[in-house]
A and B are shown apart, each in its own frame.
Chain A
């Protein structure tokens, strides 16, 4: 589940983006729309029943898996007490307004976790843009195409590993007693071993490193795919005009990647309040002394709720993030639309 964060993140916007693009590209003019509208849903159902049938499995799963559980939102506003079974409990429990939301506002960590979440995500967004684009361009420029394929495959490897496995990898490097860095690098150099898991100051770098480590390969492939899609004629023409390689990159590749870069960035901005739980919880091994550097909204909510079994608060946390997420997506989109209407998602 944690692994999809990245993908989901793109999904939100992409989806809306696609819709809009489709809207512009294929929407028939207004009169035509009206004409079709006269023929109602039943008519459509009769004439296009195979298409509806195709939708059916997905619709059923969405209803069962996503829509039915949505009634649970009311729990966020109740003080849940158990009375025999879930539904009776839900009805009989008292309304408490926004009391369930207090726990993540009334904490000395409110600022710290918000700051961490936003800053980390900001860094991830910026580096996650620059590094993959640069690497993707380098890969396409390599003379030996077969070697380029090999690199591409290898850097993609970390994307396959779950955060749990990554936390094992990190531990094998950073463990204070046995870790490779302490025993095989620092010790021979005569440097005192570093207590990685209790010194918060190193963790911004470690976390950023592992985030990039895991996702850069994937992002390289995405941008590589986009570069592959660029018409080679552009470059040929540029070359005839005497443009250097760097000029070609600057004036052809980057401008053509712009839309994709903006879309992906927007997607990430929309999720700026949601941290990657797997990274922030598993990789630092939930070490208390690292909290100043590793506490993010998601890990705070988790640790605050883990020992309370208070589903009212849990529900409140979910609702809060969903609402904030919606707001950030729309705001980010609004800003982009002001600057460059073409690149906006919707």
Chain B
């Protein structure tokens, strides 16, 4: 009887133990205790040691870095071990890499970590991931100006103008990847079809040039002339210089013609484009299920399409040939420009809650200066995950593809230091350099819009544009009837207030920087 009671009390105590005593036990207490599991979220030791610039800091600090990607690769721990080993006598850190899935998983995780003030050290952010503008304005990221001055390598490598392009009111909250600093738009054409019809691609300079070919291909009825999926639509050829996020109305013309911000979704050029696409759709150039197709790459693999709109850079065709197994050639439709799209397209920031901001910054610097670390991070371990070929390019092994397939290094540091894959042009980096130099620098470069005063209007407009853009940009709906509705709903959402606010801030910024 007594022992029974005691036993039951014990059972209860166990239950409490489980709610209370877990503090500090961390993962050791998990039922599936895994010896390889790393302690991931323990706050790194206090950085009372301000590392002397030249000497290697005595104390190892743990840095946590979050990246957006396909998934946490299986061999991450292995690769991290190598990196840490290599860095031990350089900056003496223990790097902890966490890759979260594209879209919601990344946003949800990183935003929650940021707003709860959880300490972590390096965070991937961009105009399309982890809400760079919002989070910088809300104080979630560390100011980097002093660090940039103290460790000048990043300015030297990526260029001061480019790096400062992402600053808010002169304060740097993140550093952009040094990669292509300009962009342009064009078509990728299926090589087999180009050859079959004997198309001279040097004659194709604008959208209209392709239309006769679309006609012929449509008439033959074997394949669909134009692939349109989601945002991958010729609408991009207008190349609006957007002020805020993708789906927020408000943009400048990308030829520096004036400094007036317009609602680009309803601008005459856009309306003409919608009508043109509608015409394409009705003529059967565009597949009837374009509005709901999902995966551009999956569709490209089918070889059922002649052309697809794409953002271009040197070697894009080879890259897509490699990843889709169908041969493509690229033609330019728009001119290269340098805009905020690039400066804030892929960046690393240091969260304000990081306990080791300086060391984190040193690590970020290493991503710009050290190709050993970069290539480990990008491709894994030589001999295991990839092999180097005679020409210096690399081939990923099956193990590499299955267990450490991080994808190219455009998310961090200096991409020009990377090894090339065997399907890439050996002159890729030289071509990139030329391409970067050819770009037209837009007036708005460096202007960062802060929507905190009109965030209600901004998010309301965003839900409206989210409803209409996709249908209009693939020609699935009649333009005129829907346009009126679109306009009304945007008005009701306060688009005018929003654009006026953009203009005010833009003018103030121009006055300040003297453009």
A102 at the interface (CB under 8 A from B): yes
Give the residues in chain B near A300, CB-CB below 8 Å. Answer: 463
- Of B111, B456, B466, which is within 8 A of A103 by CB? B456
CB distance from A240 to the nearest CB of B (A): 53
Q: How far is the CA of A99 from the CA of B455 in the complex (A)?
A: 10
Give the residues in chain B near A287, CB-CB below 8 Å. Answer: 292
B156 at the interface (CB under 8 A from A): no
CB distance from B43 to the nearest CB of A (A): 11
CB distance from A317 to the nearest CB of B (A): 12
Q: Which 8 A-B pairs have the closest CB atoms?
A: A197-B292, A176-B289, A82-B139, A108-B492, A309-B111, A85-B117, A108-B489, A107-B460
Is the interface on chain A under 10, 10 to 19, 20 to 34, or 35 or more residues?
Answer: 35 or more
Q: Are B19 and A308 interface neighbours, CB within 8 A? A: no
A115 at the interface (CB under 8 A from B): no
Give the residues in chain A near B238, CB-CB below 8 Å. Answer: none
With contact pairs A195-B292, A198-B471 given, residues A288 and B494 touching in the complex (Cβ less than 8 Å): no
Q: Are A195 and B460 interface neighbours, CB within 8 A? A: no
- Over the window 107-126 of chain B, the binary record of Cβ atoms lying under 8 Å from chain A Cβ atoms (1 yes, 0 no) is 10001001111000000000
Q: How far is the CA of A288 from the CA of B457 in the complex (A)?
A: 19
Who on chain B is nearest to A103 by CB?
A: B456
Of B130-138, B186-194, B360-368, the stretch lying at the interface with chain A is: B130-138
In the complex, 11 of the A-B residue pairs with CB atoms within 8 angstroms, ordered by the A residue number, are A53-B12, A82-B138, A108-B492, A197-B291, A287-B292, A289-B292, A292-B467, A306-B104, A307-B459, A307-B462, A308-B459
Give the residues in chain B near A177, CB-CB below 8 Å. Answer: 289, 293
B288 at the interface (CB under 8 A from A): yes
Q: How far is the CA of A193 from the CA of B292 in the complex (A)?
A: 13
Give the residues in chain B near A303, CB-CB below 8 Å. Answer: 463, 466
- Over the window 469-492 of chain B, the binary record of Cβ atoms lying under 8 Å from chain A Cβ atoms (1 yes, 0 no) is 111000010000000000011001
Q: Are B16 and A289 interface neighbours, CB within 8 A? A: no
Q: Are A307 and B131 interface neighbours, CB within 8 A? A: yes
Q: Are B138 and A80 interface neighbours, CB within 8 A? A: yes
Q: How far is the CA of A291 from the CA of B291 in the complex (A)?
A: 13
With contact pairs A56-B12, A198-B291 given, residues A308 and B134 touching in the complex (Cβ less than 8 Å): yes
Q: How far is the CA of A42 from the CA of B448 in the complex (A)?
A: 63
CB distance from B172 to the nearest CB of A (A): 17
- Over the window 190-216 of chain A, the binary record of Cβ atoms lying under 8 Å from chain B Cβ atoms (1 yes, 0 no) is 000101111000000000000000000
B65 at the interface (CB under 8 A from A): no
A60 at the interface (CB under 8 A from B): yes
CB distance from A17 to the nearest CB of B (A): 29
Q: Are B16 and A56 interface neighbours, CB within 8 A? A: yes
Q: How far is the CA of A67 from the CA of B15 in the complex (A)?
A: 19
A14 at the interface (CB under 8 A from B): no
CB < 8 Å A-B pair total: 129
CB distance from A235 to the nearest CB of B (A): 46
Q: Are A308 and B291 interface neighbours, CB within 8 A? A: no
A304 at the interface (CB under 8 A from B): yes
- Over the window 53-96 of chain A, the binary record of Cβ atoms lying under 8 Å from chain B Cβ atoms (1 yes, 0 no) is 11011001100100000000000000011111110010000000
Give the residues in chain A near B509, CB-CB below 8 Å. Answer: none
Give the residues in chain A near B493, CB-CB below 8 Å. Answer: 106-108
Q: Are B352 and A84 interface neighbours, CB within 8 A? A: yes
A23 at the interface (CB under 8 A from B): no
CB distance from B403 to the nearest CB of A (A): 26
16 extra interface residue pairs, beta carbon distance < 8 Å, beyond A60-B20, A108-B488, A108-B489? A53-B12, A80-B115, A82-B138, A86-B117, A103-B455, A106-B457, A176-B293, A177-B289, A193-B288, A195-B288, A195-B476, A304-B460, A306-B104, A307-B131, A308-B459, A309-B114
Within 8 A of B (CB), among A276-312: 287-289, 291-292, 300, 303-311
Q: Are A304 and B463 interface neighbours, CB within 8 A? A: yes
Q: Are B291 and A86 interface neighbours, CB within 8 A? A: no
Give the residues in chain B near A195, CB-CB below 8 Å. Answer: 288-289, 291-292, 476
A124 at the interface (CB under 8 A from B): no
Chain B interface residues (CB < 8 Å from chain A): 9, 12, 15-16, 19-20, 104, 107, 111, 114-117, 130-131, 134-135, 138-140, 245, 288-289, 291-293, 352-353, 455-457, 459-460, 462-464, 466-471, 476, 488-489, 492-494
- Of A81, A176, A196, which is within 8 A of B138 by CB? A81
A159 at the interface (CB under 8 A from B): no
A109 at the interface (CB under 8 A from B): yes
Q: How far is the CA of A83 from the CA of B463 in the complex (A)?
A: 30
Give the residues in chain A near B115, CB-CB below 8 Å. Answer: 80, 82, 86, 309, 311
Q: Are B469 and A288 interface neighbours, CB within 8 A? A: yes
With contact pairs A56-B16, A83-B139, A85-B353 given, residues A106 and B460 touching in the complex (Cβ less than 8 Å): yes
Q: Are A82 and B352 interface neighbours, CB within 8 A? A: yes
CB distance from B455 to the nearest CB of A (A): 6
Q: Are A57 and B16 interface neighbours, CB within 8 A? A: yes
Who on chain A is nearest to B452 by CB?
A: A79
Q: How far is the CA of A15 from the CA of B492 in the complex (A)?
A: 42
Give the residues in chain A near B466, CB-CB below 8 Å. Answer: 288, 291, 303
Q: Are B134 and A57 interface neighbours, CB within 8 A? A: no
Q: How far is the CA of A183 from the CA of B196 in the complex (A)?
A: 30
Q: Are B462 and A61 interface neighbours, CB within 8 A? A: no
Give the residues in chain B near A99, CB-CB below 8 Å. Answer: 456
Who on chain A is nearest to B104 by CB?
A: A306
- Over the window 148-160 of chain A, the binary record of Cβ atoms lying under 8 Å from chain B Cβ atoms (1 yes, 0 no) is 0000000000000
Q: How far is the CA of A102 from the CA of B454 in the complex (A)?
A: 11
Q: How far is the CA of A189 from the CA of B407 in the complex (A)?
A: 45
Q: Are B12 and A84 interface neighbours, CB within 8 A? A: no
Who on chain A is nearest to B488 by CB?
A: A108
CB distance from B429 to the nearest CB of A (A): 34
Give the residues in chain A near B131, CB-CB below 8 Å. Answer: 307-309
- Of B15, B130, B134, which is within 8 A of A310 by CB? B134
Q: Are B16 and A103 interface neighbours, CB within 8 A? A: no
- Of B19, B293, B467, B470, which is within 8 A of A60 by CB? B19
- Of A53, A54, A84, which is within 8 A of B353 by CB? A84
Q: How far is the CA of A60 from the CA of B460 in the complex (A)?
A: 41
Who on chain B is nearest to A107 by CB?
A: B460
Give the residues in chain A near B469, CB-CB below 8 Å. Answer: 288
Give the residues in chain B near A306, CB-CB below 8 Å. Answer: 104, 107
Of A196, A289, A306, most buried by chain B (CB within 10 Å of CB) is A289
Q: How far is the CA of A37 from the CA of B489 in the complex (A)?
A: 62
Give the residues in chain A near B464, CB-CB below 8 Å. Answer: 108-109
Give the residues in chain A near B468, CB-CB below 8 Å. Answer: 288
Give the residues in chain A near B463, CB-CB below 8 Å. Answer: 107, 109, 300, 303-304
Q: How far is the CA of A137 from the CA of B329 in the complex (A)?
A: 66
CB distance from A68 to the nearest CB of B (A): 12
Q: How far is the CA of A311 from the CA of B245 in the complex (A)?
A: 19
Give the residues in chain A near B117, CB-CB below 8 Å. Answer: 82, 84-86, 89
Give the residues in chain B near A56, CB-CB below 8 Å. Answer: 12, 16
Give the residues in chain B near A198, CB-CB below 8 Å. Answer: 289, 291-292, 471, 476
Who on chain A is nearest to B288 by CB?
A: A195
Q: Are A289 and B289 interface neighbours, CB within 8 A? A: no
Q: How far is the CA of A80 from the CA of B12 in the complex (A)?
A: 41
Q: How far is the CA of A196 from the CA of B293 in the complex (A)?
A: 11
Who on chain A is nearest to B460 by CB?
A: A107
Q: Are B494 and A310 interface neighbours, CB within 8 A? A: no
Q: How far is the CA of A40 from the CA of B83 in the complex (A)?
A: 65
Who on chain B is nearest to A314 by CB?
A: B115
Give the residues in chain A near B467, CB-CB below 8 Å. Answer: 288-289, 291-292
